[in-house]
């Protein structure tokens, strides 16, 4: 059996603003609006469909993106150029830093709806002498 993750819906206060924010940071394109959704597709074919909902209906989630080292450089540069607050850890205790977990680099930041975003250049568990995944 072949099962692949295809898409997910991400609740936002403003679907277009959240889609454009993430697409810019990751160096991706915003797709054509379809019904209530503004999509952003990743290179592995997964689509993030942003939908506007009332702010009180948003349950904060965490989304992690695996990129190459070269792509990480671009993502991190765009985060810094845009003045986006970032951390080396998911709890925000290491502001203005990135991590070097799992033999790569990682950074955490928030999207406009308050979702936790993570960008990593090495998958969890890819290096044997690292801290546990968070």
pLDDT, one tens digit per residue, over 10-32 is 999 999 999 999 999 999 999 99
CA distance 120 to 127: 13
Residues in the chain: 134
pLDDT computed for residue 131 by the predictor: 53
**Long-range contacts at 76-82 (CB < 8 A, ≥ 24 apart):** 76/105, 76/107, 76/119, 78/24, 78/25, 78/27, 79/25, 79/107, 79/109, 82/24, 82/25
pLDDT computed for residue 134 by the predictor: 46
Mean pLDDT of 84-108: 97
Distances (CA, A) of 83 to 35, 76, 116, 119, 122: 32, 11, 16, 16, 24
Q: What's the pTM value of the predicted model, to 2 decimals?
A: 0.91
Over residues 31-50, the pLDDT tens digits come to 999 999 999 999 999 999 99
Listed in sequence order, the residues at least 6 apart from 44 whose beta carbon sits closer than 8 Å to its beta carbon are none
């Amino acid at each position: 059996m072949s099962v692949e993750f295809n898409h997910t819906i991400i609740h936002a206060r403003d679907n277009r603003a959240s889609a454009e924010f993430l697409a810019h940071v990751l160096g991706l394109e915003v797709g054509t609006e379809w019904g209530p959704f503004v999509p952003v597709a990743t290179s592995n074919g997964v689509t993030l469909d942003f939908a506007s909902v009332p702010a009180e209906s948003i349950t904060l989630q965490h989304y992690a993106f695996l990129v190459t080292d070269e792509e990480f450089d671009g993502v991190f540069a765009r985060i810094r150029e845009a003045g986006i607050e970032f951390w080396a850890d998911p709890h925000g205790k290491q502001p203005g830093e990135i991590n070097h977990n799992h033999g790569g680099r990682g950074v955490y930041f928030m999207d406009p709806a308050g979702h936790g975003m993570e960008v990593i250049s090495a998958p969890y568990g890819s290096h044997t002498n690292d801290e546990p995944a968070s």
